Amino acid sequence: MLELNPGSELLGRYVIDRVIGVGGYGAVWKALDKQLNRTVALKRLLKSGAARDEQAQKAMLEEAKKNALVVHPNVVQVYDIIQVDDEHLIVMEYVDGDSLHAHLRELALSSRSVSLEQAVDWLREILEGVAYAHGQRVCHRDLSPMNILLSTGGVPKISDFGIARIIPSKDVAVTPSPPASSQGGTGNPDYMAPEQARGEAADFLSDLFMIGICGYLLLTGRHPFAHPSGLFAIPELLKDESYQPPQPPPPAGLAISDQRRFREYAAVVMRLLGRERANRYQNAQEAIDALDRVIPSVDCPSCGEHVPEHDRFCRHCGVTLAPVPGPAAQEPATVVSGAVSAEELADEGYRLVQAKRWQQAIDAYSKAIQADPNYRKAYWNLGYVYNRIGNPDAAIQILDKGLDLPPSGRDYRAGMFYERSIALASLKRYERALADINESVRLNPDSARSLYFRARISLLQGDLDAALRDARDVLRIVPDHSAALRIIDQISKGSTG
Q: pLDDT tens digits for 83-137? A: 888 788 888 889 988 899 999 999 999 989 998 989 999 999 999 999 988 988 8
Give me the percent of the chain exceeding a pLDDT of 70.
Answer: 79
Residue-level pLDDT at 301: 64
Q: Return the top range by mean pLDDT from 42-46, 175-179, 219-223, 423-427.
A: 219-223
pLDDT band at 340 (very low <50, low <70, confident <90, very high): confident
Query: What mean pLDDT is reported for the chain?
Result: 82
Mean pLDDT, to the nearest integer, of 234-258?
88
Residue-level pLDDT at 297: 62
Catalytic residues: 142
Quick one: fold of 9-93?
A: Phosphorylase Kinase; domain 1 (3.30.200)
Mean pLDDT, to the nearest integer, of 191-219?
94
Of 155-159, 248-252, 255-259, the poorest mean pLDDT is in 255-259
Q: pLDDT tens digits for 436-459? A: 999 999 998 988 889 999 998 998
pLDDT band at 351 (very low <50, low <70, confident <90, very high): confident
Residue-level pLDDT at 312: 58
The dotted CATH code for 100-295 is 1.10.510.10
Residue 367 has pLDDT above 70, yes or no: yes
Residue-level pLDDT at 27: 82
pLDDT band at 495 (very low <50, low <70, confident <90, very high): very low
Which contacts of 480-484 are long-range, i.e. CB under 8 A and separated by 24 or more positions? 480/317, 480/318, 481/302, 481/303, 481/316, 481/317, 481/318, 481/448, 481/452, 482/153, 482/316, 482/317, 482/318, 483/303, 483/305, 483/316, 483/317, 483/452, 484/317, 484/448, 484/452, 484/455
Domain boundaries, the chain: 9-93, 100-295
pTM, 2 dp: 0.59
